[in-house]
Structure 1
Amino acid sequence: MTNPFGIQRLSEVTPASETPFLIEGLIHRTATMIYGRPKAGKSFVALSAAMALGEGTPWLGQDVEPLNTLLWALDPGQEDETYQRFNTAQGKADSRLFITDVRPEDSDEWWSEFSDVLVSTGVEVLIVDNLSALLGRGSYNNDADVRPALGRLQALLDEGIAIVLVHHSGKFNEEQGSGKSPMGSTAIEAWGRQFIQVTDDQELRVLRVYGNNTPERELGIALNFNGEGDHGAFVTLVGEEETVAMTAEHEELVARAKARWDGRKDRQKKQGRSPQQKAGKASEPRQNGIPERIREALKDKPEGMGWNELDKAVTGSSGAKSKAANSMVEAGSLTRTKEGNRTVYRLAS
C-alpha cells in the first residue's frame, strides 16, 4: 500500500534501530521528568546526569555519549549555585555542558527565537530546572497555564532536542498531586515518556524509574553533596531491583487482577451499584407514591372506580398512574374488572 500518509500494515513496520534512550533505561531521547519533594535531591540528580551527558562519562552504571547539554537554571541565583556545585564535583573544563538563567517570555516570538538559537548552536539536550519557575505566575495545577508551556517544550522536542524537566511531587492528597505522581495537572504526567522520582530516606535516596519503554524499577543511591560519587558526580549506586508488579509471573499477575475484579464487584454490590442491581432499578417504574394515593382514593369505595374517575382522583401523570395500577393488579393488591364499557378498579379484599 503506497499513500502520502504513510499508512502500512503494522506487521511490516521497520522499527527504529536506535535505542529510545540517551542514557539507557534512565534518560529518554525525548521527554524525561525528574521529580520529588523539596530537598529530596532532584536538582543534584539532574545536575549529575547533565554532567555525565556533557562529559560523556558513565552514569549509574550506564555508558554515556557526550552531547551538547544546556542546563536552564530558572530559580533565583541558581546559575552561581550550579557553578559552585560543578566545581565541587570537579567538572571537566572541556565539558559540553552549558548553562543559562535567562527568563522566558510569554510570547511565541520569544520562544521561536529561543528555539532557533538552540538549534543553531547545536544544543542536543535541554535540562529545565524547574517547571514551576518556567510557568512564572501560572500554576501547575491549572491546565490553562500548563498546556501552553508544555506545548512550547514540545516544539523543542519536535526540533530533535531532548528535554529533561525537573518538577515537584506532592504529598498524598495534596492539591492535585499524590505521593507517587508529579504534582499538578494530569497534562504534566501525560507529557513525559520517562520518569525518575527521587525520594529520600535519611542517607539513602531511592530513584523510582518508570516509563513507556522500561519496566518499573528502583535504584538506591548515596547522594554526596561534596561532589564525590562512584557512578557519577554526587551519586553512588548501592542497589537496584525491579518492582514486584513488573516481575510477577503471568499466573500471579492474572490472580491478582482477578482478586481486584472480585473485590470491585463485591464493593459495587454492597453499594447497590452492580450491573444487575442497576438493571433491576431501571426496570421498575418510578411510582413516586402513586400506589398509596390510589389506595387512599379507593379505600371508601367498595363499588370501585372507573379508570377515568380514578385518573381524576389521583395526582400524577396518567402514564405513571397506569403503570402503578397495572403493577398493583399484578401484585394482587388491586382488582380490575370489565363491567360493560367500564374498567373498574377495587382494592383487593
Structure 2
Amino acid sequence: MTTTNKFKQRTYAEVNPLTDEDAWIIDGYVSSFHTMFYGEPKAGKSSLVSAVIASVVSGQPFLGVSPNRKMRVAVFGSDDGAAEEYRERIGSAFTEDLESPPIGFYDLPVMSASDWPEAVAQVIEDGYDFVVIDNVEGCIDGDPNQSQPWQRLYAGTKGFIAKGIPVLLVHHASDKSFQGSKSSKPGGHYKATASVRHRVHIRKIGKIGKMELDLVGNRGQERTVKLMRTGLVEYDVTGEETAEEMQAESEKTKRTRDKAVMDANLEKSKFVVAHCQGMSDRDAASSLAAKFGGTEEGQKTFLRHMKGALLDKQGRGSRTSWELLTS
C-alpha cells in the first residue's frame, strides 16, 4: 500500500526530552513556541516587547534573565509607523551599541491562509529565526470574537514553529469585566490562546510607572512579577509572587475581611439587644441607622439577615424582645 508522509512517525526513542533551555528563549518569559504578550492600550506592551527583542538580539538580560541563545528577529507590525516606533524603543534598550543589529521590519496586512506560507518563506530567506507579530488583531482574517479566525491564524503561524522559529504575539486584553473587576483574559474568542504555550498579561498599576506581569503557561509556575518602569524601555524588578503565595494572601485577606464583617455584625446585634427592646423592626432599623450610619432600609435588611443567625426576635410592637444568639 502506498503511503504519504502526511503522518510521519517519530518513535519514542527518536523524540528527545524537552529541556528548559529548549523550551525557553528567555526562561519564564518567552517560549520557544508561541508566546502572547497582552494588555490594555498604553499598558506598555510594545515597550516590553522591545526589551525582549533587544535581549534576544544582543544577549543582554531581560528583567534580569539572560536569553538562552541569540536570535535574529523579524518584526511584523500592523500599526502606522510601527517600524519607526520599534526602532526607537529597541535602540534605547540596548545596553551596548550594536552597529547593525539583526532585526528586520515588515508591514503586517490582514493575513489570508495563503499569505502565511509566503511570510514563512520570506523570513527564512531573509535569515531571521524569531518572529514578533504586533498586533494580532491587525492581521487576523475575520471577527476575533469567533473561533475560525484564530484557528486560521494559528494554522498559519505554526508554519514558523515547524521551522523552529518562535513566535511572539502582541494582543489586547479583553475589555470585559466580571463582578466589577477587569478580565485577565486576552481579547476575543477563547481560541485566542489555544496554541499559546506561555502568556504574559501586562498590567499598568497607577500612573507612576508601576507594572505587573501575570505569567501563565504550560511549563513553569504561575507567578506575578512586579516592575517599576525607569525609562522608555528600562525596568526594575521590585517583587515577585507565585500563584500559591497570591492564593494564600487572598485567603488571608478574605479571612480578615470576614472577621471584620462578623465583628461588625456582632456589635450591631449587641446594640439591638441593649437599646431596641420593645421596638419593631422599623424602629430598631432607625436606631441602627442613627448609630452606625446607612439607610433605614439597609438596616432592616441587616435585621432580616441576622434573625436566626445572631438575633432572636419574639413578640410584636411594644412587646418585642430581642435576644442575642450564642453558639
TM-score by length of 2: 0.65
| Alignment of structure 1 residues 137-286 onto 2, 5 Å | 138-173=142-177, 179-202=183-206, 203-224=209-230, 226-227=231-232, 233-244=233-244
- Structure 1 residues 107 and 243: CA distance shift in structure 2, 3 A: closer
Distance 1:16 1:107, change over 3 A: closer
Selected match of 2:39 from 18, 36, 39 = 36
**Does the Cα contact within 8 Å between 1:66 and 1:96 map onto a contact in 2?**
no
Matched, 1:16 2:22: no
1:186–1:72 distance in 2 versus 1, CA, 3 Å: same
Q: Distance in 2 between matches of 1:114 and 1:6?
A: 28
Provide structure 1 residue ranges, at least 5 long, that are not aligned to the other structure: 228-232, 253-349
Q: Could you tell me whether the CA contact under 8 Å between 2:108 and 2:139 is conserved in 1?
A: no
Classify the secondary structure of the residue corresponding to 1:206: strand
- Residues 26 and 194 of structure 1 are in contact (CA less than 8 Å); yes or no, is this contact kept in structure 2? yes
For residues 72-87 of structure 1, the aligned pairs below 5 Å read: 72-87=76-91
Q: What displacement does 1:14 show?
A: 5.0
For residue 121 of structure 2, the aligned residue among 112, 116, 123 is 116
2:71 aligns with: 67
Output the CA distance in 2 between the equivalents of 1:23 and 1:43.
17
Question: Is this contact kept in 2: 1:57–1:66, CA < 8 A?
Answer: no
Alignment-mate amino acid for residue 22 of structure 2: T
1:299-310 equivalent positions in 2, closer than 5 A: none
Question: Is the 1:20–1:28 contact (alpha carbons within 8 Å) kept by the matching residues of 2?
Answer: yes
Q: Which amino acid aligns with 2:121?
A: D
TM-superposed deviation, 1:35: 0.4
Aligned length: 234
Q: 1:102 to 1:240 in 2, by over 3 A?
A: same
Q: Partners of 1:182 and 1:73 in 2: how far apart?
A: 19
Which consecutive aligned stretches of 4+ in structure 1 deviate over 6 angstroms post-superposition?
A: 245-248
Looking at structure 2, the residues matched to 117 and 158 of structure 1 have their Cα atoms a distance apart, in angstroms, of 15
Cα displacement (A) at 1:245: 6.2
Identity %: 23
Separation in 2, partners of 1:61, 1:85: 19
How far has the Cα of 1:163 moved from its partner? 0.3
**Quick one: which amino acid aligns to residue 47 of structure 2?**
F
Per-residue displacement from partner, 1:106-125 (whole Å, max 9, x unpaired)?
A: 251x3222211212222111
Corresponding position: 1:27 with 2:33: no
Partner of 1:328: none
Distance 1:38 1:26, change over 3 A: same
CA–CA distance in structure 2, aligned partners of residues 193 and 161 of structure 1: 14
Instruction: Tell me, yes or no, if the aligned pair for 2:53 and 2:90 is still in contact at 8 Å.
Output: no
Tell me how far apart the structure 1 counterparts of residues 240 and 83 of structure 2 sit (CA, whole Å): 32
Give the drift of 1:93: 2.7
1:102 deviates by 4.5
Instruction: Give the drift of 1:246.
Output: 8.3
C-alpha displacement of 1:239: 1.3
Report deviation, 1:43.
Answer: 1.2
The superposition leaves residues 114-164 of structure 1 with CA deviations (integer Å, 9 ceiling, x where unpaired) of 21121222211101100110126x221111222212211112211211000
Number of the residue aligned with 1:255: none
Taking a change above 3 Å as real, the CA distance of residues 132 and 219 of structure 1, as seen in their structure-2 partners, is same
Say if 2:139 is the partner of 1:134: yes
Amino acid at match of 1:42: K
How far is the alpha carbon of 1:96 from its aligned partner? 2.2
Shift of 1:238: 1.5
Q: What is the letter of the counterpart of residue 137 of structure 2?
A: S
Runs of 5+ consecutive residues of structure 2 not aligned to the other structure: 1-7, 252-327
C-alpha spacing 1:242/1:53, structure 2 compared with 1 (3 Å): same
The residue type equivalent to 1:147 in the other structure is Q
Counterparts of 1:20 and 1:160, CA distance in 2: 11
| Structure 1 position 179, deviation (Å) | 1.2
- Contact 2:37–2:200 under 8 Å retained in 1: yes
Q: TM-score by structure 1 length? A: 0.61
Contact 1:50-1:71 at 8 Å conserved across structures: no
Q: Which amino acid aligns with 1:239?
A: G
Q: Deviations over 1:175-209 (max 9, x none)?
A: xx961111111111112000110001122100011
CA distance in 2, matches of 1:132, 1:19: 29
Which of the two has higher C-alpha Rg? 1
For the Cα contact (< 8 Å) 2:210–2:227, is it kept in 1? yes
Partner of 1:52: 55
> Equivalent residue of 1:191, what SS?
coil
Separation in 2, partners of 1:166, 1:211: 16
